[in-house]
A and B are shown apart, each in its own frame.
Chain A
Amino acid sequence: MALTDVRVAPPEPEPAAEITDRARHERRLGLILSAPAFVVMVFVTAYPLVYAVVLSLYNYRLTDPAGREFVGLGNYATVLTDPVWWSDFGTTLIITVVSVAVELVLGFAFAFVMYRVIRGRSWVRTGILIPYGIVTVVSAYIWQFAFQLDSGFVNQWFGLGDFNFFGERWSALFVIILSEIWKTTPFISLLLLAGLVQVPEEMQEAARVDGATAWQRLWRVTLPNMKAAIMVALLFRTLDAWRIFDNPFIMTRGANDTETLSFLAYRQNVTLVNLGAGSAVSVLLFLTVVVIAFIFVKGFRTDLSQVRGDR
């Protein structure tokens, strides 16, 4: 059902003139009630985004306001030919792909357990919500200190001697991704659980009677019926992971090629107050998000506005 089809019409038939009167009144009230939300969202996102586009066309450093000059697309050329952009792009891509893939598998496993478990069900469901609520910075510190040489237990437990996890790219990324997975798997598994509950039990039964194995039932009955849930979980987690900032900032400050795109935008804009190039990075980051959303919409052939609810 489309979003506009929600039950809103007056229940009993009334004279035509009154309906239009009512409808007009309803339209006005609807617009008035929506206006504050609309205004706030435009003021803090649309307007600054346009402003970012404008800024990105200038060479503009806060440390040198007088030197501000129009450079057209020069900043974009600078950013896109800089190996730092591509290195950060790669890092972001690795973190996103690995964490979302692992979370999807793990999230499924958790969802199945939460669906089937009887003893201590509410304990499991309560427990799994706690990582979701933890402040990401806190989660980053927890994992960092666990893997750090002078404070952590990991090296001892796994006999790694004095291996420095934060001394090189891949092991540092491993810890960053681990923290990300710990914190956000609950979100994905709860969405999948909600999808799992919707799969009609009779269909499972029918497949069982027809002699389908557990594996066949999973692939032929369960998963196809959860398509909407999987889609929503994947889309939201992918875009969320793509914006990752807190974990690398806390754990490595971007050292050893662990800087992400959000980090780059922050560093250019806030640390270096290089607003021209920083805005170009911001706009490019925004565009990558649009492209990812577009790919998802095309790939899953789903109307985005219908992704959540109302069906």
Chain B
Amino acid sequence: MGDRKAGVWWTVSGMVILVWALFPLLWMVSLSFKDPDTFRSQEPTFFPQDWVWDNYKTVFTDSLFTSALRNSIGIALIATALSVIIAMFAAYAIARMDYPGKKFLLSMALAIAMFPQAALVGPLFNMWRNLGIYDTWIGLIIPYLTFALPLSIWTMSAFFRQIPWEMEQAAQVDGATAWQAFRRVIVPLAAPGVFTTAILTFFFCWNEFLLAISLTSTDRARTVPAALSFFTGASQFESPITYIMAASVVVTIPVVILVLIFQRRIMAGLTAGAVKG
């Protein structure tokens, strides 16, 4: 009896957490469907009086937003791919080999994970202007890559360490070549870790704001978070609030989809190697 009562109590608590996590999203969606002209003329209500699609039409016809969306997708995907590849080499070496400087590399990655990005905006701003990559994709990809690397290296090496590497030798004993053994045995075991790391890295690049507004000045490379902060709506007399929320819904959709599909992996990735012992 006591157990069942406790079970109910935990279920209720779980629902409270769900409401806490999702309620603000409901507010975002609700605001994004409000009529931009009238939403502030009456007392503001939580749900719209009339549900309208106007805000979504506006954001998708606004070149500032569409180019920002393109930039965000391109920059985040390229930075993620490069970061995962580079980190994969390093994590493989860390998990698999003995060489001098390994501990140093891990410590350095940890130090960079704690690095205040704001401390770099000045120097990078100046360097990028001198190099001619200010306000370009590459100008954002390079720092994103760097700040995503520590997370990628730590997470992947934690995953890679759990791989029973002896299996590769066992396969070789059974007659496979070294490459076959690696490809058939190790790659499938490592793939989930690599993939998880890629999702976390993508979240990081998708979210980044400080460097995005510091190292861009036009819609050439400005990403969605940066563009959102400059969004003014259809005309200067209208309040941009409802448009901003519609744009926010659009950039939140990929996050929600990734979370729904890969919940377990994301949790594993966030806690990989973090708290053992």
Report A's interface with B, CB cutoff 8 A: 2-4, 6-9, 11, 23, 26-31, 33-34, 36-38, 40-41, 43-45, 48-49, 51-52, 55, 62, 110, 113-114, 116-139, 141-143, 145-146, 148, 150-153, 156, 182, 186-187, 190-191, 193-195, 198, 226, 228-229, 232, 236, 239, 242-243, 245-246, 249-250, 261-263, 265-266, 268-270, 275, 278-279, 282-283, 285-286, 289, 293, 304-305, 307-311
Contacts and interface: CB of A to CB of B under 8 A. Distances in A.
A221 B208 CA distance: 39
Contacts of A304: 107, 110
A45 B120 contact: yes
B123 A37 contact: no
Contact of B260 (A28, A126, A148): A126
Contacts of B28: 138, 142
A26 B127 CA distance: 37
Contacts of A131: 21, 24
Nearest to B154: A308
B187 interface: no
Interface stretch (B50-58, B85-93, B176-184, B188-196): B85-93
A49 B120 contact: yes
A186 B105 CA distance: 29
A138 B32 CA distance: 12
Most chain B CB atoms below 10 A, which of A37, A190, A236, A311: A37
B24 A142 contact: yes
Chain B at the A interface: SS class: helix
Nearest to B270: A190
Nearest to B121: A269
Nearest to B8: A119
A148 B102 CA distance: 51
Most chain B CB inside 10 Å of its own CB: which residue of A30, A52, A145, A191: A30
Contacts, number: 351
Interface of B: 6-7, 10-11, 13-15, 17-18, 20-22, 24-25, 27-28, 31, 39-40, 43-46, 86-87, 89-90, 92-103, 105-110, 112-127, 142-143, 145-147, 149-150, 153-154, 157-158, 161, 165-166, 169, 203, 206-207, 209-210, 213-214, 224-225, 228-229, 239, 241, 244-245, 248, 251-252, 255-256, 258-260, 263, 266-267, 270-277
A305 B118 contact: no
B154 A121 contact: no
B181 to A, nearest CB: 14
Nearest to A148: B241
A117 B10 contact: yes
